[in-house]
A and B are shown apart, each in its own frame.
Chain A
C-alpha cells in the first residue's frame, strides 16, 4: 500500500486536473449563456470572448468571478453578463460592487450590513449616492495618482467601476427599453414616416407628434450607445480590415437613418434580448449559433483563439495549480516527520504535475497573446512561480529530502496567490504599451531577469526553511543542514548569473533604444541591487566571513531585496518602468519584509537558543 501511495496521489491529481478540462456546457432546456459567452467582441485593443469580459470585469468589481445573489442563487460570469447586456434593469439588483472603505460607504449613506457579505452592493443601492460620488471623484481626480489618499483612490475606483457597468449596459441593446426588438422593428418599418414628422416639426408645420417623439427618443438612445458603449461587438464586413474597423452597436444603429435597414448584428442583439428575457431557449440558442456562424465565415482563424480563451478561462489552470501546490507543501512537510521516502515522492509527483500544468497554462497564454511569457506584472508572477518550481524539481531530484519540494510548493502557491491579486485590475492579456513592444527584448531581457528573481527567491525560501527548522525544531540534523547549504549556494550562483546577465541585457536594450546603457531608472536600480546583493553573499561565503547561519540570514534578506525590485520600485511611481502600479500591495509587501526580518533575527540574534544544535553562527574552521 505504502509503495503505491505516491502513484495513487498522482492519479488523483491527474483526475482532478482532468475534471477541470471538461468543456463547459450550459444547462439543457435553458438559454445557453455559455455559448453566448463565446461570442467575440473587440475591447481593450484585442478580440476576446464575452466570457473574458465577464470574468475580468467581475474580478475588477468584486475580486471574484461568480455572483452570489441575495437569495442564495449563484450566477456564472456568463449568466451575469447576459443579464447585464440583455435583461434591461435585472442586473441592477445584483450585489457586485465591492466597497470596503467605511468613508465611501458613509458617503453613499450605506452600512456594511446592507451589503451581501457585508461588502458587496448592487447598482440599485448605489444609485441615490451617485451624484455625491461623482462630486468626490472630481475633487480627487486632479490629485496625482501616487499622492491620493486611500479614500480618494476608493472613490475613483468605485466611480470608474460604475461607469464601466453603465457603459457595458449600453453595448448591445438600447438601454431602458421594455421590448427593444419591437422598438427596433417598428423603428425600421416607420422610419420614413418618422423622418417626415421630424422634418415637419422642424419647419413648424403640422406633423405626427407621436411619431416624431418616438424617433427622436430612439435616436437619443442610439447616440448614447454610440458615445458610451464599452464593447465593439460588430465586425467589419471585410475580413482583412484592421481591428479599428470593429464598431459599436450605437454607431451602427445610427447608420440606419441613412440605409433604412437595421444592420443584422444590431438587430440580432435585440433578438437575443427578447429571447433571454422571455426564456425562449430555442430562439436564443439559434440566434447565438447564427451569430457565431456569421463571424466564423470571415474570422475563422481568430475565433480559434477566442474559443481557446473561453476554454482556458473555464479550466482556470492556475487555480488548480494553487491546490496542487498546497498539497505538495503539506505532503513535503509531513515527509519530514514520517515516511520520508513515500511522502517525499508523492510531494515530488504533485509538484511535477503542478509544474506541467503551469507550463501548459503559460504556453497557452503565450499563444493567445503571441508574446513571450512575461508581458506585465501578472505574468511575471506566474513566471517567477513557474521557474522556481522548475528549479525545485531539479533540486529535489538531486537531494531527495522533501526540502526543495516544500520550497517549491510554497513559492508556487505564493506566486499564484500574488498573480490572483494582480489580476484584479482587469484583463491580464492586455496590449503592450509602445515602449515595451519588442518581442525580442521581452523574450531575452525580461525572461532572464525574471528567472533571476525566481532563483533569488528560491535561495531565500530554502534559507528560510533552514532557519525555521533549525530554530523551532530538532529536525535540522547535520546532513539536512549540509544539503540545504549546498542547495542555497548552488541556487545563489544561478541567481547571480541570471540577474547579472538579465540586467546587462536590459542595459543593451536601453542602449539600442535610447542610446544610453544605463539611466539609473528605479527598476534598473532594483535589478542592480539584486546583482550586488547576490555577489555580496557569494563573497561572504568565499571569504568565510560568516557561518552557515549568517549566510542563511543574508539569503533570507535576498527575499526583501527581490521584492523591492519587483514591486517596491513600482510603488515609487517614477521612471520608465512604472507600468504596473500597485498601491494595494503596499501593506502586503511591508508585512512580508517584516516576516523576513523576524527570520533573520531568528538566524543570527545572539543568545537565541536553536532547538537543532550543530551549525554555529561563527565560520566553521576549514
Chain B
C-alpha cells in the first residue's frame, strides 16, 4: 500500500509529467488556433480550453480527441503544487524558481476564474441615442414586459436556454400565465408566407397569434463566423388558468415586440439579445473615424459619450478611443467597431472581476526569472573572471 502511495506521489511530482503536460498544452494551443478558422474564437474557447475533454464532431458524432484545457491545466496545477510542496526549501538559490512557479500557479487560477466570471457585452449607440443597457452578442432572452404603467416597465427575462427544453412549463410569480416552449431553432430566417420563393425549405409554423402567424420559418445551420451572429427563433404557447392564450413566434430577427392584453394589463413579448441593465446611461454625442490623408487606412476611431446617472452624481463627457477605454462601475467599455456610415458606434463592454490576478502573477514571474537568470549570469561571469 505504501509502495503504491509513493509511486502515486512520485508520478505527480515528477518532471516527466511536467514535460509531458507542457508538450500537451503546446499541442492544445496549436490545435485550438487551427480550429479557430472553422469555429470562431468563442466556440473554440468553450471546446478546447474551458473543457475537460475536447469533443470533436466526426460525421455528426462527438468523439473525444484530446484532453481539454481544464484537464491539462488542472494536472499542471497539481503537478506544480505537489512538486513544490515535496521539494520546497526556503533558500535564496531557489527563490527565483519558486517565484516563477508561484506566479504560474496564480496565472492558471486567474485564467480559470476569468473563464468562469468574465462576461462580454456590446453597446451599440447611434449618434444622439441614449441607452442604459448593453446587449450580449452571444446569448438571447425571451422578454415578457408589462408596460401598463406609462413610467415603469416590469421586465421578466427568460434565458434562451430554457426555451430549448420543449414542453417545459415555465411559471414565474411575475406573470399571470405560463410560458410553454413548443419549438426552438438556434438559427433561423423568417419571411412573410406570401413572399416565400419556391424551393425555399420551410418548417411547420403552428403560431396562432401575433405577427408570427403570417411568417414562414427557414432553419439555418449554426454559424461560427466571428462577424455573424445566430438569430434564433422559438414558438411559445401562453397558458392562463382558462386555457391557451395562443402560440407566438418570437425571433431576434423581429425587432418590434409583439403586443397583447391579458388580465387587464398590457404585455409585450420578444426574443431579444440578452440585456444587462446599468444604473447609469450613456449617450453617444459624436463618433469619428479619421483616416490617414489620401488613404483608407484608419488612423483613429473615437466615440464622445455622455455618462449620466439618475441621481446626478455623474454627468460628464468621456472620449473613448483605441487603446483608451472607459472604465466605470467595474466594467471596461472599449471601442470595438462602427456601423451605419460612421453614425453608429459599437462599444465592447467587459466585466472581468479577476483582472488583477494576471498582473500580480506577472510581477512574480518576471521577478523570479530575473532572479534566476541573473544569478546564473553572475555565477558565470565570476567563473570566467576566476579562469
In the complex, whether A529 has a CB less than 8 A from a CB of chain B is yes
Question: Which one of B15, B33, B44, B380 lies within 8 Å of A545 (CB-CB)?
Answer: B15
In the complex, whether A4 has a CB less than 8 A from a CB of chain B is no
Which chain B residues (289-311) contact chain A, with CB distance < 8 Å? 291-295, 297-301
Taken together as a complex, chains A and B put the C-alpha atoms of A520 and B300 apart, in Å, by 25
**CB closest residue in chain B, given A504:** B362
What are the interface flags for B317-341 relative to A under an 8 Å C-beta threshold, 1 for contact and 0 otherwise? 0000011110100011110000000
**CB closest residue in chain B, given A47:** B293
Contact A493 to B29, CB < 8 A, known contacts A45-B294, A438-B323, A518-B358? no
Cβ A521 vs Cβ B41 within 8 A: yes
In the complex, whether B4 has a CB less than 8 A from a CB of chain A is no
Which chain B residues (28-82) contact chain A, with CB distance < 8 Å? 29-30, 32-34, 36-37, 41, 44-45, 49
CB distance from A287 to the nearest CB of B (A): 24
In the complex, whether B213 has a CB less than 8 A from a CB of chain A is no
Q: At the interface with chain A, which of B191-199, B259-267, B273-281, B366-374? A: B366-374
Q: Which residues of B contact A522 (CB under 8 A)?
A: 33, 36
Cβ B22 vs Cβ A532 within 8 A: yes
CB distance from B282 to the nearest CB of A (A): 15
**CB closest residue in chain B, given A497:** B369
CB distance from A305 to the nearest CB of B (A): 16
Question: Which one of B33, B226, B295 lies within 8 Å of A525 (CB-CB)?
Answer: B33
Which chain A residues (493-533) contact chain B, with CB distance < 8 Å? 493-494, 496-497, 500-501, 504, 507-509, 511-522, 525-526, 528-529, 532-533
Taken together as a complex, chains A and B put the C-alpha atoms of A317 and B349 apart, in Å, by 47
Cβ B32 vs Cβ A525 within 8 A: yes
Cβ A574 vs Cβ B325 within 8 A: no
In the complex, whether A608 has a CB less than 8 A from a CB of chain B is no
Q: Is the interface of A mostly helix, strand, loop or mixed?
A: helix
What are the interface flags for A238-262 relative to B under an 8 Å C-beta threshold, 1 for contact and 0 otherwise? 0000111010000000000000000
Q: Which residues of B contact A574 (CB under 8 A)?
A: 36-37, 41, 226
Which chain A residues (456-505) contact chain B, with CB distance < 8 Å? 490, 493-494, 496-497, 500-501, 504
Contact A519 to B358, CB < 8 A, known contacts A434-B322, A500-B365, A532-B22? no
Taken together as a complex, chains A and B put the C-alpha atoms of A243 and B291 apart, in Å, by 11
Q: Which residues of A contact B301 (CB under 8 A)?
A: 434
**CB closest residue in chain A, given B336:** A514
Q: Which residues of B contact A363 (CB under 8 A)?
A: none
In the complex, whether A398 has a CB less than 8 A from a CB of chain B is yes
Q: Which residues of A contact B348 (CB under 8 A)?
A: 514-515
CB distance from A387 to the nearest CB of B (A): 17
Q: Which residues of B contact A507 (CB under 8 A)?
A: 358, 362
Question: Which one of B15, B111, B120, B370 lies within 8 Å of A518 (CB-CB)?
Answer: B111
Cβ B376 vs Cβ A493 within 8 A: yes
Cβ B365 vs Cβ A504 within 8 A: yes
Q: Which residues of A contact B114 (CB under 8 A)?
A: 516-518
In the complex, whether B355 has a CB less than 8 A from a CB of chain A is yes
Q: Which residues of B contact A431 (CB under 8 A)?
A: 292, 295, 297, 299
Taken together as a complex, chains A and B put the C-alpha atoms of A509 and B322 apart, in Å, by 11
CB distance from B343 to the nearest CB of A (A): 18
In the complex, whether B172 has a CB less than 8 A from a CB of chain A is no
Count B-side interface residues using an 8 Å CB cutoff. Answer: 59
Cβ B352 vs Cβ A516 within 8 A: yes
Cβ A520 vs Cβ B45 within 8 A: yes
Taken together as a complex, chains A and B put the C-alpha atoms of A494 and B374 apart, in Å, by 10
Question: Which one of A43, A532, A573 lies within 8 Å of B294 (CB-CB)?
Answer: A43
Taken together as a complex, chains A and B put the C-alpha atoms of A501 and B362 apart, in Å, by 8
In the complex, whether B254 has a CB less than 8 A from a CB of chain A is no
Contact A516 to B118, CB < 8 A, known contacts A431-B299, A532-B26? yes
In the complex, whether B2 has a CB less than 8 A from a CB of chain A is no
Taken together as a complex, chains A and B put the C-alpha atoms of A569 and B15 apart, in Å, by 30
In the complex, whether B344 has a CB less than 8 A from a CB of chain A is no
Cβ B369 vs Cβ A515 within 8 A: no
Question: Which one of B44, B293, B373 lies within 8 Å of A493 (CB-CB)?
Answer: B373
Cβ A434 vs Cβ B32 within 8 A: no
Which chain B residues (107-142) contact chain A, with CB distance < 8 Å? 110-111, 114, 118, 120
**CB closest residue in chain A, given B376:** A493
CB distance from A150 to the nearest CB of B (A): 19
Q: Which residues of A contact B15 (CB under 8 A)?
A: 539, 542-543, 545
Q: Which residues of B contact A433 (CB under 8 A)?
A: 297-298
Contact A501 to B366, CB < 8 A, known contacts A435-B322, A515-B325, A515-B348? yes
CB distance from B128 to the nearest CB of A (A): 24
Question: Which one of B293, B323, B370 lies within 8 Å of A42 (CB-CB)?
Answer: B293
**CB closest residue in chain B, given A246:** B293
Residue of A494, A508, A520, A564 with highest tally of chain B CB at under 10 A: A520
Q: Which residues of B contact A42 (CB under 8 A)?
A: 293-294
**CB closest residue in chain A, given B358:** A517
In the complex, whether B205 has a CB less than 8 A from a CB of chain A is no
What are the interface flags for B355-387 relative to A under an 8 Å C-beta threshold, 1 for contact and 0 otherwise? 100110010011001100100100010001000
In the complex, whether B19 has a CB less than 8 A from a CB of chain A is yes
CB distance from B357 to the nearest CB of A (A): 8
Cβ B322 vs Cβ A437 within 8 A: yes
Q: Which residues of B contact A512 (CB under 8 A)?
A: 323, 325
Question: Which one of A242, A435, A518, A520 lies within 8 Å of B293 (CB-CB)?
Answer: A242
Q: Which residues of A contact B226 (CB under 8 A)?
A: 574
Residue of B22, B41, B226, B294 with highest tally of chain A CB at under 10 A: B294
Question: Which one of B22, B300, B366 lies within 8 Å of A504 (CB-CB)?
Answer: B366
**CB closest residue in chain A, given B45:** A520
What are the interface flags for B141-165 relative to A under an 8 Å C-beta threshold, 1 for contact and 0 otherwise? 0000000000000000000000000
CB distance from A197 to the nearest CB of B (A): 35
Residue of A43, A497, A526, A573 with highest tally of chain B CB at under 10 A: A497
In the complex, whether B252 has a CB less than 8 A from a CB of chain A is no
Q: Which residues of A contact B331 (CB under 8 A)?
A: 515
**CB closest residue in chain A, given B302:** A434
Cβ A44 vs Cβ B292 within 8 A: yes
**CB closest residue in chain B, given A441:** B323
Taken together as a complex, chains A and B put the C-alpha atoms of A44 and B297 apart, in Å, by 8
Taken together as a complex, chains A and B put the C-alpha atoms of A532 and B49 apart, in Å, by 16
In the complex, whether B25 has a CB less than 8 A from a CB of chain A is yes
Contact A515 to B352, CB < 8 A, known contacts A45-B293, A520-B45? yes
In the complex, whether A116 has a CB less than 8 A from a CB of chain B is no
What are the interface flags for A312-329 relative to B under an 8 Å C-beta threshold, 1 for contact and 0 otherwise? 000000000000000000
Question: Which one of B41, B299, B376 lies within 8 Å of A520 (CB-CB)?
Answer: B41
Taken together as a complex, chains A and B put the C-alpha atoms of A324 and B324 apart, in Å, by 44
Cβ B33 vs Cβ A572 within 8 A: yes
In the complex, whether A535 has a CB less than 8 A from a CB of chain B is yes
Cβ A515 vs Cβ B295 within 8 A: no
Question: Which one of A517, A526, A569 lies within 8 Å of B355 (CB-CB)?
Answer: A517
Q: Which residues of B contact A493 (CB under 8 A)?
A: 373, 376
Residue of B111, B292, B348, B380 with highest tally of chain A CB at under 10 A: B292
Taken together as a complex, chains A and B put the C-alpha atoms of A539 and B80 apart, in Å, by 12
Cβ A533 vs Cβ B295 within 8 A: no
In the complex, whether B16 has a CB less than 8 A from a CB of chain A is yes
CB distance from B66 to the nearest CB of A (A): 15
Known: A243-B293, A434-B322. 15 other contacts (CB 8 A): A43-B294, A497-B370, A500-B366, A508-B358, A512-B323, A513-B325, A514-B334, A514-B348, A515-B355, A517-B355, A517-B358, A522-B33, A525-B30, A529-B26, A573-B37
22 inter-chain pairs at a CB distance below 8 angstroms, sorted by A residue, are A44-B294, A242-B293, A246-B293, A246-B294, A431-B295, A490-B376, A493-B373, A493-B376, A507-B362, A508-B358, A511-B358, A512-B323, A514-B332, A517-B114, A517-B355, A518-B111, A526-B33, A529-B30, A532-B22, A539-B18, A572-B34, A574-B37
Closest 5 CB pairs of A and B: A515-B332, A45-B292, A543-B15, A515-B350, A243-B293
